[in-house]
């Protein structure tokens, strides 16, 4: 008989409410939800009982935007699939969706095989892939169909930024969108006007403005708003193809998204913790080279902008204008990595490490009254699963679903920092000093306890590749 685990006396939370039920797990899946007391009266036995008294029992976090081992700016993101998924588990995350990368001149299917090789046998939690298409040509377009049909990859990321690296022009974007419109997949977009940004970057450098903070000045929020709007218009021309704008940081972009959604278009948005909590003044503009820790794209915004980006993004999450919180986890150490940009901010590898802390940081938004407990579960687990075709296998605590579960202690405390909670492979924490009124208590990945009593009990290789279906939000 398969091993049984019973999670007793907790409050199970879903996007639609809270229920005082016990969760019975058999093997890798959830067998039943039992009314309180029923496990005793029915004489249910279990090999392991987890007492969740006073705790929330929620579906494991799903981070649909990570970049483990990504080659970028002459170096590689510092988390491997092993260290990154282990840190994710420490943070209550049970599934990541990483990005396989095709660059101009490369073959899509070969690039995907490379990513499978990096991840296979190394992950401690489940993983799936999106495919980045950095070079749209006839072959790449045909490969999109192949990936949807055969590889369980149903989302393709394009870039309006990074000319010469990942950039696609409007014509290429339109062609990929038409292809997606035919095969049912979703286009994910990095929406910043990279051509205009490159001009501003060169002008700052020429003036000797080389500190990390100029990274933000060279990428104004207006250019994120413009690109977001342009992507939406192109998606409309391509026949209302599902469009998912990644890592939104700016009110201007959110306004374009909201308008499109009110029009009934299949347009969705994601934001990340750094855009909800960090500012140009307090982080990117720290003295010396410290600000390099917070260089990511789109950049951290100023608190003196015309718009209050933080407040607007939280509102967007409340209103379901933004559907998902991910991290864009793309960590780099200061030593030998971020340091490549001393004296020239444009050479700083773009990215921050957050995969471990998203559930914690967004829960703090619940404590602060920005979103409800239910909305925390929805934006960090259920919607990511539905958006990328993994529901109800993932993203919900229900009979038949994978037993991916986070037991969250609202009375615990978490202090983030290199000498506090920090398991990512980085020589600093992007979130040093942040405090959270709550704590990861126990984490299960397909029935296996991977974090318990402040110990990692998972194993490398337990994580399986998840083939995904199409977006489950389509009109
Ligand atoms: Zn990214």
- What pLDDT is stored for residue 74 in this prediction? 87
CA distance 396 to 403: 9
Cα of first residue to Cα of last residue in the chain, in angstroms, is 43
Band of pLDDT at residue 214, cut at 50, 70 and 90: very high
Q: What is the pLDDT of residues 145-170, one digit of tens each?
A: 999 999 999 999 999 999 998 999 99
Cα–ligand 1 centroid distance for 260 (angstroms): 23
Cα–ligand 1 centroid distance for 65 (angstroms): 6
- When pLDDT is averaged across residues 3-23 and rounded to a whole number, the result is 98
Cα–ligand 1 centroid distance for 19 (angstroms): 35
Instruction: Report whether pLDDT(475) > 70.
Output: no
Cα–ligand 1 centroid distance for 269 (angstroms): 14
Cα–ligand 1 centroid distance for 96 (angstroms): 13
- When pLDDT is averaged across residues 24-33 and rounded to a whole number, the result is 98
Cα–ligand 1 centroid distance for 145 (angstroms): 23
CATH class, range 4-58+401-456:
mainly beta
Cα–ligand 1 centroid distance for 296 (angstroms): 9
Cα–ligand 1 centroid distance for 130 (angstroms): 11
Is pTM beyond 0.95? Reply is yes
In which residue are the tokens 């917070």 written?
A: 294
- When pLDDT is averaged across residues 198-216 and rounded to a whole number, the result is 98
Cα–ligand 1 centroid distance for 365 (angstroms): 23
Cα–ligand 1 centroid distance for 128 (angstroms): 15
For residue 290, say if its preceding peptide bond is cis, omega within 30 degrees of 0. no
Band of pLDDT at residue 73, cut at 50, 70 and 90: confident
Instruction: Provide φ and ψ at 7, rounded to 5°.
Output: -100, 110
Indicate the CATH number of 74-387 among 1.20.140.10, 3.10.580.10, 3.20.20.140, 3.40.50.720.
Answer: 3.20.20.140
- When pLDDT is averaged across residues 52-75 and rounded to a whole number, the result is 96
Cα–ligand 1 centroid distance for 66 (angstroms): 7
In which residue are the tokens 């920090």 written?
A: 422
Whole-number average pLDDT of the chain: 97
Residue spans per domain, the chain: 4-58+401-456, 74-387
Band of pLDDT at residue 62, cut at 50, 70 and 90: very high
Instruction: Report whether pLDDT(1) > 80.
Output: no
Do 74-387 and 4-58+401-456 have the same topology in CATH? no
187 and 241 Cβ atoms separated by less than 8 Å: yes
Cα–ligand 1 centroid distance for 98 (angstroms): 9
Neighbours of 123 (CB within 10 A): 29
Cα–ligand 1 centroid distance for 172 (angstroms): 20
The 8-class DSSP code of residue 60 comes to: P
CA distance 304 to 281: 9
434 and 361 Cβ atoms separated by less than 8 Å: yes
């Amino acid at each position: 008989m398969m091993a049984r685990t019973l999670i007793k006396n907790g409050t199970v939370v879903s996007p639609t409410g809270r229920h005082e039920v016990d969760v019975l797990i058999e093997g890798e899946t959830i067998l039943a939800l039992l009314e309180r007391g029923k496990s005793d009266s029915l004489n249910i036995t279990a090999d392991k009982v987890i007492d969740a008294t006073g705790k929330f029992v929620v579906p494991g976090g799903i981070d649909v935007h990570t970049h483990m081992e990504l080659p970028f700016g002459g170096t590689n993101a510092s988390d491997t699939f092993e260290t990154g998924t282990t840190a994710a588990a420490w943070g209550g995350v049970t599934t990541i969706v990483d990005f396989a990368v095709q660059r101009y001149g490369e073959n899509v299917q070969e690039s995907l095989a490379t990513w499978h090789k990096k991840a296979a046998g190394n992950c401690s939690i489940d993983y799936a892939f999106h495919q980045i298409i950095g070079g749209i040509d006839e072959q790449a377009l045909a490969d999109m169909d192949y990936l949807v049909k055969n590889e369980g990859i149903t989302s393709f990321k394009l870039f309006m930024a990074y000319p010469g690296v990942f950039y696609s022009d409007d014509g290429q974007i339109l062609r990929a969108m038409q292809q997606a419109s035919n095969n049912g997949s979703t286009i994910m977009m990095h929406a910043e006007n990279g051509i205009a940004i490159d001009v501003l970057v060169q002008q700052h450098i020429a003036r000797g403005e080389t500190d990390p903070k100029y990274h933000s000045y060279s990428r104004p929020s207006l250019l994120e708003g413009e690109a977001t709007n342009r992507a939406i218009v192109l998606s409309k021309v391509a026949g209302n193809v599902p469009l998912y704008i990644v890592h939104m940081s700016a009110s201007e972009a959110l306004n374009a998204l909201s308008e499109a959604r009110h029009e009934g278009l299949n347009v969705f948005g994601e934001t990340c913790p750094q855009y909800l909590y960090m500012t140009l003044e307090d982080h990117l503009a720290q003295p010396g080279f410290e600000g390099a820790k917070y260089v990511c794209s789109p950049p951290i915004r100023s608190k003196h902008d015309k718009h209050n980006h933080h407040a607007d993004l939280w509102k967007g999450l409340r209103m379901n204008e933004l559907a998902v919180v991910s991290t864009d986890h793309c960590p780099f150490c200061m030593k030998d990595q971020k340091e490549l940009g001393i004296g020239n901010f444009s050479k700083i590898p773009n990215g921050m490490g957050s995969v471990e802390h998203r559930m914690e940081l967004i829960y703090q938004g619940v404590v602060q009254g920005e979103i409800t407990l239910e909305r925390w579960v929805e934006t960090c687990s259920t919607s990511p699963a539905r958006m990328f075709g993994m529901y109800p296998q993932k993203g919900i605590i229900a009979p038949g679903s994978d037993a991916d579960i986070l037991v969250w202690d609202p009375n615990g405390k978490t202090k983030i920092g290199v000498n506090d909670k920090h398991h990512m492979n980085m020589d600093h924490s992007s979130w040093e000093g942040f405090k959270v009124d709550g704590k990861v208590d126990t984490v299960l990945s397909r029935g296996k306890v991977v974090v318990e009593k402040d110990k990692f009990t998972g194993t490398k290789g337990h994580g399986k590749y998840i083939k995904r279906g199409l977006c489950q939000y389509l009109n």
